[in-house]
Amino acid sequence: MNLNAFRQELATPRTSIQLCIIGIVGGICAASLIILFRLSVEWLQRLFLPELNDFASLEPYMRFLLPCVGALAIVLIAYLTGFKHYRMGIPFVIHRVKHYFGHIPFRTAINQFLGGTLALVSGFSVGREGPSVHLGAFGSSFFGQWLKFPHNSIRILSGCGIAAGISASFNTPFAAVIFVMEVVLREYKIHIFIPVMLAAACGTVLTRIVFGEAQELSFIQFHEFSQWIYLYLIIFGILLGCLATLFNKSLMLVISGFGRINMARRLLIAGLITGAVGYILPDALGAHFHSAHLLIAQNENIQLLIGVIAAKFLLTIFALGLGIPGGIIGPVFVIGMLSGVVLAYPLGFFIDDVSNLNGSFSLLGMAGLMTAVIHAPLAALSAVMELSYSPELILPTILVIVPAYVTSTQFLGNSSIFTQQLDYQKLPYTISSVMESLQKTGVLAVMDKNFKLLKEGNEQLISTLDNEQDSAIVQFSVGKEGATEYSLVNYDKGKDSESKRLTFTPMQGVDFQATLAEVYRILELNRDGAVYIFSTTSEQIVGIIKWKTLRHHLHKASY
């Protein structure tokens, strides 16, 4: 396979077999990393737990010591890798995808793998989707960087890795695709959709080979209920929107309030708080669906469920707010499950047995709370539907999601927790529409390969200009510091049309992996000139791009 031709096709924003291939390979790379991560967590938990995530079986003193020891180990890993590389999770990945084409630093991935493993093993109230997104983006983008693919395709590869990571983590390929499009990339393009779908499928296939085909919420049964209850779902959604707003504001309050304390102390404080609450209430440890379901099934005591919700709420905002590596969606799902059951309790005044609604309302609570916390209604709907094997959830879930989202955003002014975290960390996550459009196309797709490279010498330049009118003429010379300099050569005709004068327009170099956005940044000031595209070194020119070529691409109609 000609790798240069492969790269050139990837530089063009269109669906191609090459893009499908990298989607599959990137998905396999990412899914393999996530499966290794999950196996590491399970192997460590089996060393001291009779069943996975069964923290309630531990002695009280062990429930206190475990998070404290876990926090110490996380601090040690962060110290060894460097605290400046302790940036991870979904908000960081969104920033890297938007402004660095999805390139994830290696040390942050090490921190995320080891730190995330320890956090989940130690019983912190965090989810595994945070590490899954981070590691998935790293695994696939590393593959693209290694083969020096165009940056626009590496961004797509990052999306593929994220989809494969979520799919490998939860066995939910459709929800993974929607999450990537709705939360990370925030755009719907067919040429991006196809490889992301393939990557999600690869993640699911590999997950089912290793962990089996069972879904994590398949034990929850959705029961149809009377249509008059649909009216209560609107109130239900409003209450979830209020709870989500309280959650987001509390989390940001913890992040800002403890921001001046150094990272090591924050992590140790998180361990102490988790250990203290776990000592009293073991059901608050971890963020596993099955544990929450057992708590609901075995306890009719509404006061206990409310207490667990409060404890889980507290542990989650302190764990995430103080920097414990992990995801937010897992604990939000668990809080949503428990809140759904509690908020269904008032229906007991109108029907005989409200326990039949526990399964249905726990699923609806998950979808509504996730929607209002991260502002991803489609991802929430598809995730809950896939996790529970319940397509009949669609209508009631919509009736919960819409009021939850509207209440949270319009009436309470709550924005996505990811954007709030990015704003606080001063990490940019938006770009102009022009730059976003240009970043979709690599320079290899539009550069002019028909050029002549000549040394200094006016006679040769004039002769070539006269004989090679269809080719661009580039002159190279050695500068004062020994570096090679390139100029675009043209005729400048004065008032006398017969007199000709040579003009030399200096050109800057652009790496062949770059996109048209980098070219635009160089040429936009003068709205004229050209850049040269180089391969391995700046002296290996492979093409040039003129301003008029870039302008034509910008004005080209698209569907």
| CATH of region 3-217, choose from 1.10.10.2120, 1.10.3080.10, 3.30.2350.10, 3.40.1670.10 | 1.10.3080.10
pLDDT at 498 over 80: no
Range in 122-131, 149-158, 159-168, 492-501 the model is least confident about: 492-501
- The pLDDT score that the predictor gives to residue 220 is 75
- The pLDDT score that the predictor gives to residue 539 is 72
Domain boundaries, the chain: 3-217, 229-425, 443-555
pLDDT at 24 over 80: yes
Percent of the chain at pLDDT > 90 equals: 63
Q: 463 and 500 in contact (C-beta within 8 Å)?
A: no
- Residue 74 has phi, psi (to 5 degrees) of -65, -40
pLDDT at 370 over 80: yes
- The pLDDT score that the predictor gives to residue 125 is 94
- The pLDDT score that the predictor gives to residue 195 is 96
Mean pLDDT of 41-51: 93
Range in 308-312, 408-412, 488-492, 524-528 the model is least confident about: 488-492
- The pLDDT score that the predictor gives to residue 559 is 56
pLDDT, tens digit, for every residue of 319-344? 999 999 999 999 999 999 999 999 99
- Residue 486 has phi, psi (to 5 degrees) of -125, 145
Range in 11-25, 203-217, 355-369, 459-473 the model is least confident about: 459-473
Which helix (H) or strand (E) covers residue 472, if one does? strand 472-478
Confidence of residue 103 (pLDDT cuts 50, 70, 90): very high
- The pLDDT score that the predictor gives to residue 431 is 87
Mean pLDDT of 382-405: 90
Instruction: Round to whole Å and give the CA distance between 141 and 159.
Output: 9
Mean pLDDT of 471-476: 82
Nearest one of 336, 283, 329 to 54, comparing CA atoms: 283
Mean pLDDT of 478-499: 71
Percent of the chain at pLDDT > 70 equals: 94
Supply the Cα-derived Rg of the chain in whole angstroms.
Answer: 28
User: Is pLDDT larger for residue 354 or for residue 322?
Assistant: 322
Q: Which amino acid is at 31?
A: A
**For residue 160, what are the CA distances in angstroms to 153, 197, 204, 249?**
10, 8, 13, 31
First to last CA, the chain: 31
pLDDT at 499 over 60: no
User: Is pLDDT larger for residue 340 or for residue 467?
Assistant: 340
Q: Do domains 229-425 and 443-555 have the same CATH topology?
A: no
pLDDT at 359 over 60: yes
pLDDT at 494 over 70: no
**Three-class secondary structure of residue 150 per DSSP:** coil
Q: 135 and 165 in contact (C-beta within 8 Å)?
A: yes
- 206 token code pair: 């590999």
Core vs surface per residue 29-42: b (16+ CB within 10 A) or e: bbbbbbbebbebbe
Instruction: Round to whole Å and give the CA distance between 282 and 290.
Output: 14
Greatest mean pLDDT among 6-10, 237-241, 431-435, 506-510 lies in 237-241
Confidence of residue 299 (pLDDT cuts 50, 70, 90): low
Q: 305 and 333 in contact (C-beta within 8 Å)?
A: no
Residue that the structure tokens 């949503």 belong to: 336
pLDDT at 184 over 70: yes
Confidence of residue 476 (pLDDT cuts 50, 70, 90): confident
- Which residues touch 209 (CB under 8 Å, ≥6 apart)? none
Instruction: Round to whole Å and give the CA distance between 204 and 165.
Output: 9
Range in 46-50, 172-176, 226-230, 414-418 the model is least confident about: 226-230
List, edge to edge, every strand of the sheet that includes 500-511: 451-454, 472-478, 484-493, 500-511, 530-534, 541-546
- Residue 505 has phi, psi (to 5 degrees) of -105, 110
Range in 413-422, 468-477, 494-503 the model is least confident about: 494-503
pLDDT, tens digit, for every residue of 443-465? 999 998 888 888 766 666 777 77
E strand map for 236-368: none
- The pLDDT score that the predictor gives to residue 179 is 94
Please provide the average confidence, as pLDDT, over all residues in the chain.
89
**Three-class secondary structure of residue 481 per DSSP:** coil
User: Is pLDDT larger for residue 224 or for residue 416?
Assistant: 416
- The pLDDT score that the predictor gives to residue 158 is 95
Longest dimension (CA), the chain: 100
Superfamily for domain range 443-555: CBS-domain (3.10.580.10)
Mean pLDDT of 71-79: 94
- Fold for domain 229-425? Clc chloride channel (1.10.3080)
Nearest one of 90, 95, 183 to 134, comparing CA atoms: 90
- 223 token code pair: 């029961």
Mean pLDDT of 412-439: 91
